[in-house]
């Protein structure tokens, strides 16, 4: 364990990675990539563009646009993901694996969230692809919510686990699966009791907030994301999962930028942007849980171990030094209100030699 706690005011960890990130495209890329590359070494890049990134060739072109948007001198790496559709051919998995730059396939139930219209209508349509992924060891990333209109939005993750995930694990017992952005005690419990091939990512918003922060005393559109914030008992279960030291739970921000005008709307978009202060937001959670010694495993070790990638060599140092997050940030040609805007965080990243 290389975490060092100096009178609880300095914390040095292995440089972290983000295992779930939305960078978008076009003019936004320069801002999202600069933020993502500032303190992190790598990110799993979500493919829900419009149109989505469904082939290895498209992922290769998108990757080049991302690399071009990197700040000068940055060695931050985008890890690309394919968007699964009803029509993805199993041979696409062979191409993805031999590309060397694709590290996972993302399953969106059709209609579940932002740009998911081309998602899978019935997981059975993807069985041929999943069989190939199981054989080749390519992880499946799940947006774990059912989309049936008569299922209450707060129950959609739990119902997905029961109806889709449990049978999937039985059908493909060796398939590597990440249940992304878990939001419920049921999600944490299912992953904790599964095999080593089952893991989960957890976002800062689901650790710091519950549904009261979205709905009590006025509706707060900037706290609206999918899966939706749940009640505080679930928040507590997620904090315990993240800070408990299990290698099955690791960092995935689900940082998902939308312009201010698209969030503050009669039908606002889902997604919280957190890469203006991602590692600092997690440090806040781990500090409040008296578990700062567990931050490094969650942020920097468990993700690469699950994905079969090397752990980063460079370090990142944080200092206990309160700072206020900005009220707005730039997203290409638009303004955006980031997650936890104008709030104060206790931990700040120290710039300088230790950040390598």
Number of residues that bind Zn ion (CB under 5 A): 1
Contact of 248 with 199, CB cutoff 8 Å: yes
Helix (H) or strand (E) holding 320: strand 315-324
Give which of ligand NCD, Zn ion, none residue 114 binds (C-beta under 5 to 8 Å, depending on kind).
Answer: ligand NCD
306: nearest Cα among 247, 252, 251: 247
64 in helix, strand or coil?
Answer: helix
Residue 114 in contact with ligand NCD, rule: CB under 6 A = yes
The Cα–Cα gap between 58 and 162 comes to: 34
Instruction: Decide if 254 is catalytic.
Output: yes
Which x/- pattern over 124-163 shows residues binding ligand NCD (rule: CB under 6 A)? Answer: -------------------x--------------------
Helix (H) or strand (E) holding 91: helix 90-99
Give 145 or 254: the residue with its C-beta nearer to Zn ion.
254
Give 257 or 304: the residue with its C-beta nearer to ligand NCD.
257
Give which of ligand NCD, Zn ion, none residue 48 binds (C-beta under 5 to 8 Å, depending on kind).
Answer: ligand NCD
The Cα–Cα gap between 144 and 178 comes to: 10
Token pair, residue 192, equals 């904790």
Give 143 or 275: the residue with its C-beta nearer to ligand NCD.
143
How would you label 57-94 residue by residue, b for 16+ Cβ within 10 Å and e otherwise? ebbeebbeebeebbeeeeebbbbbbbbbbeebeeebbe
Which of 41, 49, 177, 225 is in the footprint of ligand NCD by CB under 6 A? 225
Query: Where in 33-52 is the site for ligand NCD (CB under 6 A)?
Result: 48
Q: Which of 18, 31, 254, 287 is catalytic?
A: 254
Which x/- pattern over 265-284 shows residues binding ligand NCD (rule: CB under 6 A)? Answer: -----xx-------------
Contact of 334 with 260, CB cutoff 8 Å: yes
Positions that interact with Zn ion (CB under 5 A): 254
Positions that interact with ligand NCD (CB under 6 A): 22, 48, 113-114, 143, 225-226, 254, 256, 270-271
Q: So which residues are the catalytic ones?
A: 254
């Amino acid at each position: 364990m290389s975490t060092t706690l100096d009178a609880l005011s300095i914390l040095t960890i292995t440089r972290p990675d983000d295992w779930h990130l939305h960078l978008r495209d076009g003019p936004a890329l320069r801002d999202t990539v600069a933020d993502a590359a500032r303190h992190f070494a790598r990110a799993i890049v979500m493919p829900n563009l419009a149109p989505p990134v469904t082939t290895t060739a498209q992922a290769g072109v998108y990757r080049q646009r991302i690399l071009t948007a990197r700040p000068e001198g940055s060695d931050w790496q985008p890890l690309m993901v394919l968007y699964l559709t009803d029509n993805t051919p199993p041979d696409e998995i062979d191409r993805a694996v031999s590309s060397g730059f694709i590290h996972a396939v993302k399953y969106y139930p059709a209609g579940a969230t932002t740009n998911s219209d081309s998602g899978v209508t019935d997981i059975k349509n993807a069985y041929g692809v999943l069989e190939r992924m199981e054989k080749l060891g390519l992880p499946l990333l799940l947006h774990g919510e059912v989309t049936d209109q008569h299922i209450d939005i707060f129950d959609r993750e739990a119902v997905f686990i029961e109806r889709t995930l449990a049978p999937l694990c039985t059908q493909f017992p060796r398939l590597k699966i990440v249940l992304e952005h878990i939001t419920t005690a049921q999600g944490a419990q299912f992953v904790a009791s599964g095999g080593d091939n089952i893991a989960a990512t957890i976002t800062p918003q689901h650790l710091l907030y519950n549904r009261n922060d979205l709905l009590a005393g006025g509706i707060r559109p900037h706290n609206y994301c999918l899966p939706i914030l749940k009640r505080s008992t679930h928040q507590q279960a997620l904090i315990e999962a993240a800070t408990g030291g299990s290698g099955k739970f690791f960092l995935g921000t689900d940082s998902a930028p939308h312009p201010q005008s698209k969030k503050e709307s009669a039908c606002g978009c889902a997604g919280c942007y957190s890469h203006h202060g991602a590692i600092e937001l997690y440090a806040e959670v781990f500090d409040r849980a008296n578990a700062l010694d567990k931050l490094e495993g969650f942020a920097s070790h468990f993700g690469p171990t699950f994905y079969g990638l090397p752990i980063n060599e460079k370090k990142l140092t944080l200092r206990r030094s309160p700072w206020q997050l900005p009220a707005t940030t730039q997203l290409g040609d638009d303004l955006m209100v980031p997650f936890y805007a104008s709030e104060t965080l206790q931990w700040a990243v120290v710039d300088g030699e230790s950040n390598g």
